[in-house]
A and B are shown apart, each in its own frame.
Chain A
């Protein structure tokens, strides 16, 4: 059967195309490794975030010392004392620390006043200090200052009342229980950077079939092989089918390989291990649908482009736009609301959300169905357009 001959030929050609295989398998493995390690601290509880905070105490009072002690106990911040303002400004400008806190002279006096007339503290920021971290530090500072002022007021009243709370009791808050909520029943699982990175770069890699597929197809067109095959009574359906099945297989091998990288390779470099907790049927469904969408998109690019340079450019640029929009390069949870809405136009976002349903949210086959339907709809639309263009132009 001609279809089997076309599939066999495609696999033979791919096996000999080392550059194509590098793009399809090695590139996403490296991305997963790098991104899992780079984003490890953002996700994991085991590896605490360490943000450098400089402090210059110009007040030199017991109260300013108390403030420094309280700040040193803040989770995620590492306190460094500096001797003067110039040193602090130089280190911030060089990005050696993100924040610098100047305790102004008269800090202790201001803390006792009912309405301080001048700033007691100045917060200096390095160019890379993020807005979210800045808000967190402001909140923490506000809490510490309020507690210190309350403590001073209570101390003043303590000669009148016996049962007032002590300073230690004031600061002690009941421990807050926290747990992650999943679609599945795996309460011990913890979201890690590898759980985010594997789906993201797997989707990206799957869509990268556009490069080898379109290049192969366009070379066949330019070298007359397609013409020869058509004279041999090979139908357009067989020609397209002869591309879909081999690249579908490649996408599934990519999926298995990327999962293995997440489970075995990332931990070797100190990262977390990928945990598979969701439905395997769900994984099969979302993987198949993402693959078909990626291949159909590649076929559409192939029929639109006339040269393989055009195809590589169109395919590469469109993939990067899909990835940037769809939450592959920048996770959606750090995007502002309108960008999160915009992300929904990218098919990579549908695939990524489906994989996250399985890898991160421990979802079932049912939970990925809406994404599967969207991807298959996209694939069908691309295939119809590609078939029409193929029969018109070739």
Chain B
């Protein structure tokens, strides 16, 4: 892929947290293609969260350059964030408020003009099928519905890029399947780019067209998923070969 066409183009990225002896990221070179569903894989403590935080402009890297659509991220961060939807791993909403109150609060925070707010909420509710639960306190939702509300809030600004940090942790297969289908549909129908982190190989295999594997702060492998699997010798399903690829690069030793 030509790097100038990348959605995110990351060059020579290093980051060390103050007071920490080791760098969290070392010389990261990465291109995230526009319109792709990009899977970022890595064990706990590999550097995924640090990399996501830098891409979201939450922390400034110690060294290196991050470009968004060919321009330095830091120079137009507010504009970039306006195009980004973020679904954190945690259930980032207010349990005491109803689904409707949560959505209404976040849509106002996004500075969506008043005439458009209802439409934006409706759009997110339809995409996540939360229509029957609008007046229910978020604390009383099931695990799957909570994950859907978390996703719905990330869709309120009608984003061009959706960041999802392990969005299916701790939910039943039906809810997981629904969330994966929703993400795939958004990518297919709206051309929404997706940056996705997960530990579930079958999810990545089902959803992502591009992946990168990160460990110890370094990108170990990146590229089109189909090409990487084809180049990786082995038998069995694509999912088991992806797992084999992952373990081959990150080693199978138990981590802290």
Taking a contact as CB atoms under 8 Å apart, the answer to whether B96 and A17 are in contact is yes
Cα distance, A225 to B90, chains bound together (Å): 8
Known: A228-B88, A233-B78. A12 touches B109 (CB 8 A): no
B121 to chain A, nearest CB (A): 13
Residues of B within 8 A of A222 (CB): 90
Taking a contact as CB atoms under 8 Å apart, the answer to whether A232 and B92 are in contact is no
- Identify the stretch in A3-11, A64-72, A185-193 within 8 Å (CB) of chain B at 4 or more residues: A3-11
Taking a contact as CB atoms under 8 Å apart, the answer to whether B111 and A224 are in contact is no
B93 within 8 A of A: yes
Taking a contact as CB atoms under 8 Å apart, the answer to whether B94 and A13 are in contact is yes
Residues of A within 8 A of B91 (CB): 223-224
Interface hits, B97-151 → A, CB 8 Å: 97, 101, 105-106, 108-111
Residues of A within 8 A of B158 (CB): none
A357 to chain B, nearest CB (A): 39
B5 within 8 A of A: no
Q: Mark B68-93, 1 if CB is under 8 A from A, else 0.
A: 00000000001001101010111111
The answer, among A2, A13, A224, for a CB contact under 8 Å with B97, is A13
B77 to chain A, nearest CB (A): 8
The answer, among B57, B89, B109, for a CB contact under 8 Å with A5, is B109
Taking a contact as CB atoms under 8 Å apart, the answer to whether B109 and A229 are in contact is yes
Taking a contact as CB atoms under 8 Å apart, the answer to whether A230 and B96 are in contact is no
A179 within 8 A of B: no
Q: Which of A4, A13, A232 has the largest count of B CB atoms less than 10 A from its CB?
A: A232
Count class of interface residues, chain B: 20 to 34
Taking a contact as CB atoms under 8 Å apart, the answer to whether A224 and B81 are in contact is no
Known: A2-B111, A5-B108, A234-B109. A225 touches B94 (CB 8 A): yes
Known: A9-B97, A12-B101, A232-B81. A227 touches B111 (CB 8 A): no
Residues of A within 8 A of B106 (CB): 228, 232
Count of A-B residue pairs with CB < 8 Å = 66
Taking a contact as CB atoms under 8 Å apart, the answer to whether A230 and B58 are in contact is yes
Residues of B within 8 A of A225 (CB): 92-94
Q: Which of A224, A230, A234 has the largest count of B CB atoms less than 10 A from its CB?
A: A224
The answer, among B58, B92, B97, B111, for a CB contact under 8 Å with A12, is B97
Residues of A within 8 A of B96 (CB): 12-13, 16-17
B56 within 8 A of A: yes
B153 within 8 A of A: yes
A231 within 8 A of B: yes
Residues of B within 8 A of A16 (CB): 96-97
Residues of A within 8 A of B82 (CB): 233
Cα distance, A4 to B111, chains bound together (Å): 11
A-B contact pairs, 15 of them (CB 8 A): A6-B109, A8-B108, A9-B97, A9-B101, A12-B96, A12-B101, A17-B96, A223-B91, A223-B93, A225-B92, A227-B58, A228-B86, A228-B88, A231-B56, A231-B57
Please give 9 more A-B residue pairs, beta carbons under 8 A apart, in addition to A232-B106, A232-B157.
A16-B96, A224-B89, A225-B93, A227-B86, A228-B88, A228-B153, A233-B82, A233-B111, A234-B109
Can you list the 8 inter-chain pairs with the closest CB atoms, starting with the nearest? A224-B90, A5-B108, A224-B92, A224-B88, A228-B92, A231-B86, A16-B96, A9-B105
